[in-house]
């Protein structure tokens, strides 16, 4: 029963925000190249980018892996030329200081986990 509910959620409206096209272009790949790296069809890449289909969690994981990012980054971070995605573990007692310093430099905080 639980799996059926999850599947139904995927066939509804397209995801409101994800950055497959932007990450593909940032990596300098054509749809055909990304499809080969991800092990899925070029047609599916095209349909996902056009937001005609959502793509299954499995296919989105493959795309994210082929692009060298996590699924969370694929959904939350729009790449910008001249930037880099960097992940660090920051000690709790230094977090606010480092966050303020990075924010003032124009960095975007993606995720906070505890």
- Ordered by start, the domain boundaries in the chain are 2-82
- For 2-82, give the CATH class: mainly alpha
pLDDT at residue 1, as a whole number: 41
pTM above 0.85, yes or no: no
pLDDT at residue 97, as a whole number: 86
Give the span between the Cα atoms of 101 and 31, in whole angstroms.
Answer: 37
pLDDT tens digits for range 1-34: 444 333 333 334 445 568 899 999 999 999 999 9
Residue carrying the six token digits 């969370």: 72
Find, among 85, 82, 89, the residue nearest to 69 by Cα: 85
In this model, does residue 82 exceed pLDDT 80? no
Q: How far from the centroid of its chain's Cα atoms is residue 30's Cα?
A: 17
In this model, does residue 85 exceed pLDDT 90? no
pLDDT at residue 13, as a whole number: 44
Beta carbons within 10 angstroms of residue 64's beta carbon = 20
Residue-averaged pLDDT of the chain: 78
Give the span between the Cα atoms of 34 and 67, in whole angstroms.
Answer: 8
In this model, does residue 89 exceed pLDDT 80? no
Rg for the chain, CA atoms, rounded: 17
């Amino acid at each position: 029963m639980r799996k059926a509910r999850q599947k139904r959620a995927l066939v509804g409206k397209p995801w409101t925000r994800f950055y497959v096209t932007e990450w593909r272009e940032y990596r300098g790949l054509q749809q055909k190249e990304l499809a080969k790296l991800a092990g899925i069809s070029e047609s599916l890449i095209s349909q996902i980018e056009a937001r005609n289909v959502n793509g299954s969690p499995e296919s989105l994981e493959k795309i994210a892996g082929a692009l060298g990012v996590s699924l969370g980054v694929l959904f939350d971070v729009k790449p910008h030329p001249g930037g880099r995605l960097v992940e660090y573990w920051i000690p709790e007692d230094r977090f606010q200081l480092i966050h303020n310093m990075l924010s003032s430099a124009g960095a975007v905080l993606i995720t906070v986990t505890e």
